[in-house]
């Protein structure tokens, strides 16, 4: 009934009055839209993309860096003079630590692009991604390794199933008190579980920095050092973006990162899902070219974790 009363009221108004009312409504709507847009802009500015300077410092050869778009994109270069590298401002203990990388294109044989987490002490904990360059047209090799208390020797190598030089891909380490998962995009390629019950040390109390570098590895990296760097393709550039870090900042003691309240500590991240297990198996069956667990010349019997890790 109230709506009918309003319509009756409007019918009784003059044409001029109706026009004035319509114009007033237009102004009110414009103000509302303006406020909405302003709120949206404010939200976007508060959720800005993390830049290089937010979380990282140059540690090696600043003249071999290119920093683009106010630090949202960074390139590091290798030439005959030098390689280059960077590291995180803080150290971290547990979290999901990621980087988007586009690797060196063309003939990159002999070059090594490393992305790794390390406590950088003699008894270090460390998780490595090492991208071994190739001759043009050959697949990139990704080598991973795990150090605990300074002991490594846990290399695995796979071929990447895509061209990592054509676009950015996400390389990440999900690390908690139960397992370390190496991921390429959304595909887990390797798992190192907490096997302290088997007498295997686990990385649980050393804060690690996040590092990346590009360097000359021609003595060993491609076909055991048979392929040397073709310097006519220099400078060799690896590109990076996505500098946000979702991890617990290490303040000197592990207590603040051992609360169990972070998202990566929740039950569903303590083991692999059936889908993740299937992906790990897919990578091993189709792309793995070396696994320390099956290298009987080095380890007989295999190390204890080999029977537990997927």
Look up residue 122 and give its two tokens: 């003699």
Distance CA 100, CA 194 (A): 27
Radius of gyration of the chain from its Cα atoms, rounded to whole angstroms: 27
Number of Cα atoms under 13 Å in the Cβ half of residue 191: 26
Q: Which residues of 99-128 are buried (b: 16+ CB within 10 A; e: fewer)?
A: bbbbbbbebbbbbbbbbbbbbeeeebbbbb
Is 305 tagged catalytic? no
Q: How far apart are CA 202 and CA 195, in angstroms?
A: 7
Surface-to-core class of residue 83, CB atoms within 10 Å of its CB (0-12 exposed, 13-18 middle, 19+ buried): buried
**Cβ-contact 158, 283 below 8 angstroms:** yes
Measured distance CA(41)–CA(34) in Å, rounded: 10
The C-alpha atoms of residue 214 and residue 163 are separated, in whole angstroms, by 18
Residue 227 is a catalytic residue: no
The dihedral through the CA atoms of 212, 99, 220, 111 has a sign that is negative
Compute the distance between CA of residue 200 and CA of residue 194 in angstroms, rounded to an integer: 8
Query: DSSP label at 195?
Result: -
Which residue is catalytic, options 130, 218, 227, 305? 130
Residues in CB range of 172: below 8 A, 6 or more apart: 96, 97, 98, 99, 182, 183
Closest to 48 in 3D by CA, of 212, 243, 247, 263 = 243
User: Catalytic residue numbers?
Assistant: 126, 130
């Amino acid at each position: 009934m109230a709506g009918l009363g309003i319509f009756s009221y409007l019918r009784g108004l003059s044409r001029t009055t109706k026009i004035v009312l319509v114009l007033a409504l237009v102004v009110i709507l414009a103000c509302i839209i303006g406020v909405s847009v302003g709120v949206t802009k404010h939200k976007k500015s508060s959720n800005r993309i993390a830049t290089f300077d937010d979380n990282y410092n140059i540690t090696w050869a600043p003249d071999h860096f290119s920093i683009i778009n106010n630090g949202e994109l960074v390139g590091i270069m290798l030439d005959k003079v030098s390689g280059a590298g960077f590291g995180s401002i803080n150290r971290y203990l547990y979290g999901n630590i990621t980087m988007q990388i586009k690797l060196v294109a063309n003939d990159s044989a002999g070059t090594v692009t490393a992305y790794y987490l390390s406590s950088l002490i003699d008894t270090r904990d460390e998780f490595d991604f090492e991208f071994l360059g190739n001759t043009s047209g050959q697949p990139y090799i990704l080598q991973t390794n795990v150090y605990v208390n300074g002991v490594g020797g846990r290399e695995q190598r796979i071929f990447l199933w895509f061209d990592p030089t054509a676009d950015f891909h996400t390389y990440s380490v999900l690390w908690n008190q139960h397992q370390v998962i190496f991921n390429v995009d959304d595909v887990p390629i390797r798992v190192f579980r907490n096997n302290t019950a088997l007498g295997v040390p686990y990385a649980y109390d050393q804060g690690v920095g996040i590092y990346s570098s590009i360097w000359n590895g021609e003595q060993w990296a491609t076909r055991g050092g048979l392929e040397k760097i073709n310097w006519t393709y220099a400078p060799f550039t690896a590109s990076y973006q996505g500098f946000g870090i979702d991890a617990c900042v290490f303040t000197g003691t592990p207590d603040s990162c051992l609360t169990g309240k972070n998202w990566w500590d929740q039950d569903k991240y303590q083991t692999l899902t059936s889908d993740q297990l299937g992906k790990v198996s897919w990578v091993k069956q189709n792309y793995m070219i070396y696994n320390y667990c099956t290298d009987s010349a080095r380890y007989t019997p295999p190390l204890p974790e080999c029977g537990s890790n997927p």
